[in-house]
């Protein structure tokens, strides 16, 4: 998919749910995600990616889903090798409130990051005011972009020693495999393209993130390879944790 083209949201049925799951309480204020999308579109945001959690046939219409938006002003505006995004997470089964977060789309590998910073996140309850609150929250996320750009630029300028890159990969590996990891941390540092063959923090972070989320590493105990992350919740959790890890290393080196 071209990075600049709007996405077909019809492929994610829960976005167009017309009622919530029967499991939610009577206090649950149902606002379909499609209404949120419409409100954001009216404010200049364009949906560019969407995914849903795996769910059984009876739950697929209410499953947790994630939509990535870009404002029209940012559709073709690069900040180095990345584009700013707004990430919306929701469900209609009571498993998630509306969550609005800052995101980064890296053009080199077509990977999306989710920023691990509470300042650039908002949680909105399912109430009749949700559309307006989410639009407001999305613009607050946009306002946080200069700070995100500063962080990325600092990461790009920080050259890591080999032991620092290994330490970052080791810490990242435990985020996904807290007990027995099936691969070595060094496998997360394996680059997939020549442009990433540089030891700065930004590219180290992105290489590790791509390997951790896409999988494909040969397991130590068999010829099988690790699987990519397909869970919406796990995708967000790992992305945010990796960003926080990179931010902490950035601060230590500063």
Spatial separation of the C-alpha atoms in residues 189 and 169, rounded to whole Å? 7
Nearest to 20 by CA among 96, 134, 88, 121: 96
Q: Are the CB atoms for 95 and 196 separated by under 8 Å?
A: no
Same domain, 103 and 229: no
Q: Does any domain span residue 90?
A: yes
Could you read off the pLDDT of 81-126 as tens digits, one per residue? 788 889 999 988 877 788 999 998 888 777 888 988 766 788 888 8
Stretch 167-190: mean pLDDT: 96
Same domain, 205 and 248: yes
Q: Which of 145, 168, 198 is the last residue of a domain?
A: 145
Average pLDDT, the chain: 87
Q: What is the DSSP string of 74-135?
A: GSS--BTTEEEEEEEEE-SSSS--EEEEEEEEETTTTEEEE---GGGEEEE-SSTTHHHHHH
pLDDT band at 78 (very low <50, low <70, confident <90, very high): low
Q: Which of 95, 112, 145 is the last residue of a domain?
A: 145
Q: Which of 87, 121, 145 is the last residue of a domain?
A: 145
Could you read off the pLDDT of 31-61 as tens digits, one per residue? 889 999 999 999 999 999 998 887 777 778 8
- CA distance from start to end of the chain: 38
Range of the domain at 174: 158-253
Residue 253 has pLDDT above 70, yes or no: yes
Residue 4 has pLDDT above 60, yes or no: no
Same domain, 167 and 131: no
Same domain, 31 and 99: yes
Most trustworthy range by pLDDT among 92-106, 161-175, 219-233: 161-175
Q: Does any domain span residue 150?
A: no
pLDDT at 2: 40
The dihedral through the CA atoms of 22, 24, 27, 32 has a sign that is: negative
pLDDT at 226: 95
Could you read off the pLDDT of 18-29 as tens digits, one per residue? 888 888 777 777
Q: Does any domain span residue 139?
A: yes
């Amino acid at each position: 998919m071209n990075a600049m083209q709007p996405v077909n949201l019809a492929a994610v049925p829960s976005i167009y749910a017309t009622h919530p799951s029967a499991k939610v309480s009577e206090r649950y204020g149902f606002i379909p995600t499609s209404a949120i999308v419409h409100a954001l579109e009216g404010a200049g945001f364009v949906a560019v990616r969407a995914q849903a959690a795996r769910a059984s046939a009876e739950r697929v219409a209410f499953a947790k889903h994630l939509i990535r938006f870009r404002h029209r002003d940012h559709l073709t505006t690069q900040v180095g090798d990345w584009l700013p995004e707004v990430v919306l997470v929701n469900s209609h089964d009571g498993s998630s409130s509306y969550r609005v977060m800052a995101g980064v789309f890296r053009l080199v590998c077509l990977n999306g990051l989710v920023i691990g910073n509470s300042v650039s996140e908002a949680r909105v309850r399912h109430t009749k005011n949700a559309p307006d609150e989410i639009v407001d929250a999305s613009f607050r996320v946009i306002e946080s972009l200069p700070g995100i750009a500063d962080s990325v630029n600092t990461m790009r300028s920080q050259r890591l020693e080999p032991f620092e890159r290994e330490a970052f990969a080791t810490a990242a590996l435990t985020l996904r495999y807290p007990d027995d990891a099936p691969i070595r941390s060094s496998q997360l540092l394996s680059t997939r393209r020549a442009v990433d063959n540089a030891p700065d923090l930004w590219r180290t972070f992105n290489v590790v993130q791509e390997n951790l989320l896409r999988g494909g590493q040969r397991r130590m105990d068999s010829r099988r390879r690790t699987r990519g992350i397909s869970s919406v919740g796990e995708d967000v959790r790992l992305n945010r944790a990796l960003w926080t890890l990179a931010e902490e290393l950035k601060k230590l080196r500063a």
